[in-house]
Amino acid sequence: MDVNPLNWNWNEKKAAGRHVLTYAGGLVTMAAVWGLVSQGDASTLTQGLNDIGAGLAQFAKGVAAIAGVLVPLYSALMAKRSAQPDQQIKSVVATLSAPNSGKTVAEVVSDESDRKKLISAVADMPEVKGVVTTAKVADETASNKVVATAAEIPVARSGAS
């Protein structure tokens, strides 16, 4: 059992809150029975506790309503960011650089026109001195950094002999 409230799910927090309010209501009742507070003060305290409970419920509804609007906006912004060309290139590079991925660019980027865009984008990077590809792709690419080979070079795969 996890006693750290930060790790509780929403239902656990609501249940704990109900128990706290119930316990506080019981304390008010016992204080009235023992004569520590008057009946009028006990009614006022009980109403205050009920108001706190109702206020917390309203607060939770408000947060849920705001989240219902903000979460899709945040998701849209993250999708826009991940669709930017530099992020796409980083994603492909991360996939190809993964240990034991053994994947070629052709397997990661299946559409030929997308592969050409990727090659052009990589060639446009200042730290890239050149990109070696097939003669057909080199001829169709505007960058002078993209060069052809005499024959396609087979890609060495992890675990291949």
Does residue 17 share a domain with residue 76? yes
Does 25 map to a domain? yes
Does residue 19 share a domain with residue 66? yes
Find the domain containing 144 and state its range: 104-148
User: Could you give the number of structural domains in the chain?
Assistant: 2
Tens digits of residue pLDDT in 31-57: 888 888 888 888 898 898 889 888 888
Does 89 map to a domain? no
Does 3 map to a domain? no
Which H/E stretch holds residue 147? strand 146-148
Does 40 map to a domain? yes
Residues 48, 125: Cα–Cα separation, whole Å: 65
Does 114 map to a domain? yes
Does residue 26 share a domain with residue 78? yes
Q: What is the pLDDT of residue 152?
A: 42
Q: What is the pTM of this model?
A: 0.40
DSSP 59-105: HHHHHHHHHHHHHHHHHHHHHHHHTSHHHHHHHHHHHHHSTT----H
State the pLDDT confidence band at 101, using cuts at 50, 70 and 90. Answer: low
Tens digits of residue pLDDT in 58-87: 988 888 889 888 989 999 998 888 888 778
Sign (positive or negative) of CA dihedral 116, 117, 118, 119: positive
Does 2 map to a domain? no
Indicate the residue among 82, 115, 135 that finishes a domain.
Answer: 82
Instruction: Find all residues with CB under 8 Å of 56, minimum gap 6, and list them.
Output: 17
24-62 residues labelled b (16+ CB within 10 A) or e (exposed): bbeebeeebeeeebeeeebeebeeebeeebeeeeeeeee
Which H/E stretch holds residue 143? none
What's the mean pLDDT in 122-135? 79
More confident position, 77 or 161: 77
* 159, pLDDT greater than 70: no
Q: What is the pLDDT of residue 151?
A: 44
